[in-house]
Amino acid sequence: MEHDQGAHLVRMVNQIATNLSHERDAATRVRVHLEKFWARSMKQRLIACLDDPGHKLTPLAHEAVKHLAGREAEKSHASSSAHQ
């Protein structure tokens, strides 16, 4: 089931990437879309897929998810340092 859920999210983000591929700054658009509309748990699961060398992310989706991962890491770093 775990794997299925990841594959499902990858399919969803690929679909988003395909539909936004003709926009300017497509990777940013995809990343912003995920930030605006996806739940925290879904984003985390999606980011975890980056560790799977067999993931089926399209190049654009991959770029967007990498951006997302960076931003999320920054956010959690900022909030953990705020707590210290």
Partner 1 sequence: MLEYFDPNQVAPDQSFLKDRFSKDWFSKDYGTPASLSEKHIALEIDGVEIRVPEGTSVLRAAALADINIPKLCASDNLEAFGSCRLCAVQVEGKRGYPAACTTPVEDGMRVTTQNDRLARLRRNVMELYISDHPLDCLTCPANGDCELQDMAGAVGLREVRYGFEGDNHLDAEKDHSNPYFSFDPSKCIVCSRCVRACEEVQGTFALTIDGRGFESKVSAGQSEAFMDSECVSCGACVQACPTSTLMEKSVIEAGQPDHSVITTCAYCGVGCSFKAEMKGDQVVRMVPWKGGDANHGHSCVKGRFAFGYATHKDRLTTPMIRDSIDQPWREVGWEEAITFAAERLKAIQASYGRESIGGITSSRCTNEETYLVQKLVRAAFGNNNTDTCARVCHSPTGYGLKTTLGESAGTQTFDSVMKADAIIVIGANPTDAHPVFASLMRRRLRQGASLIVADPRHIDLLDTPHLADAQHLPLRPGTNVALVNALAHVVITEGLEDHDFIARRCDDQAYRDWREFIGEPRHSPEAVEATTGVPADAVRRAARTYANAPNGAIYYGLGVTEHSQGSTMVMGIANLAMATGNIGREGVGVNPLRGQNNVQGSCDMGSFPHELPGYQHVADDTVRQRFEQSWGVPIDNEPGLRIPNMFDAAIEGTFKALYVQGEDIAQSDPNTQHVEAALTSLECLIVQDIFLNETAKYAHVLLPGSSFLEKNGTFTNAERRINRVRKVMPPRAGKEDWEVTVDLANALGYPMHYRHPSEIMDEIAQLTPTFTGVSYARLDELGSLQWPCNAEHPDGTPTMHEIDFPIGRGHFAITEYVATEERTNRRFPLLLTTGRILSQYNVGAQTRRTHNQLWHDEDVLEIHPSDAELRGIKDGDWLGITSRSGHIVLRALVSERMQPGVVYTTFHHPSSGANVITTDSSDWATNCPEYKVTAVEVEMVSQPSAWQQRFDDFDRQQRQFLDAAREPVASDRAL
16 touching partner 1, by CB under 8 A: yes
Neighbouring C-beta atoms of residue 31, cutoff 10 Å: 23
Cα dihedral sign, 20-22-23-26: positive
Which residues in 27-56 contact partner 1 (CB under 8 A)? 33, 35-42
Q: Is 8 a residue that touches partner 1 (CB under 8 A)?
A: yes
Amino acid in position 43 = K
Choose the stretch contacting partner 1; rule: CB under 8 A; options: 12-20, 51-59, 62-70: 12-20
Q: Least separation, in Å, of the C-beta of 84 and partner 1? A: 20
